[in-house]
Amino acid sequence: MTRHSEFVVQVSGLTRAVGTRRHEVRSGRIPGLEGIGAKVPPQAEIVVDVILEAVIGGVSVTGTVKAPWAGECRRCLSPAGGVLELAVRELYTPGGDCDETYPLFDDVVDLELMAHDAVLLDLPVAPLCRESCAGLCPRCGEDLNQGPCGCVVERDPRFAALDVLRSPGEPPAHPSSGPV
Ligand SMILES: [Zn+2]
Ligand SMILES: [Zn+2]
């Protein structure tokens, strides 16, 4: 069952004594990391930097997972992207099923299982190219980040109704400024 992967860590030396720790940095590709709004590009390297510690009943894994992501800005549809840096704290136990805990099998910890789940859960669902993205004009479709598109801004019909009450040329009505 043991896979050959950058993320597979042999822990037989570690599990002999509770409290033993080891620092591991592993990197590689993980396929299938695709969400609704963004995905990890297939060639992107994912970096797992963790401390493994032998605990009663298993191995705890604490550290960070770093993964680049790419998507499409939900406002202007141009490319959006960034790097996720996620804090992880998981437990590997014999009989783990990736639900409560991850499997510890033949003294092997597969960090890919944990990294896969953490990244998939945190991929942005509605990414933005930047926080202040102005988006596209709903009328002409022009990218408003490049400047105004020239469309006449439609007024709220409720204000148009107020205009009818005003005679042409008269300044906006004000309760205290009417003729006495
Ligand atoms: Zn945008
Ligand atoms: Zn426009």
Ligand approaching nearest to the C-alpha of 139: 2
Per-chain mean pLDDT for the chain: 88
pLDDT at 13: 87
* Residue 2 reports pLDDT greater than 90: no
pLDDT at 166: 55
Cα(72) to centroid(ligand 2), Å: 21
Cα(143) to centroid(ligand 1), Å: 9
Could you tell me which residue, 93 or 161, shows the higher pLDDT?
93
Instruction: Report pLDDT digits (tens) over 5-51.
Output: 899 999 988 988 999 999 999 999 999 999 999 999 999 999 999 99
* Residue 127 reports pLDDT greater than 90: yes
pLDDT at 1: 47
**Residue spans of alpha helices (H) in 5-156:** 111-122
Cα(131) to centroid(ligand 2), Å: 21
d(C-alpha 85, C-alpha 46), whole Å = 10
Instruction: Report pLDDT digits (tens) over 154-166.
Output: 566 666 665 555 5
pLDDT at 167: 53
pLDDT at 178: 44
The mean pLDDT value for 91-105 works out to: 93
pLDDT band at 175 (very low <50, low <70, confident <90, very high): low
For 48, 84, 106, 111, 137, the CA distances from 98, given in Å and listed in that order, are 17, 21, 16, 11, 45
- 78 contact partners, CB below 8 Å, separation of at least 6: 72, 129, 143
pLDDT at 118: 97
pLDDT at 75: 96
3-class DSSP assignment, residue 157 = helix
Cα(140) to centroid(ligand 2), Å: 4
The mean pLDDT value for 122-148 works out to: 94
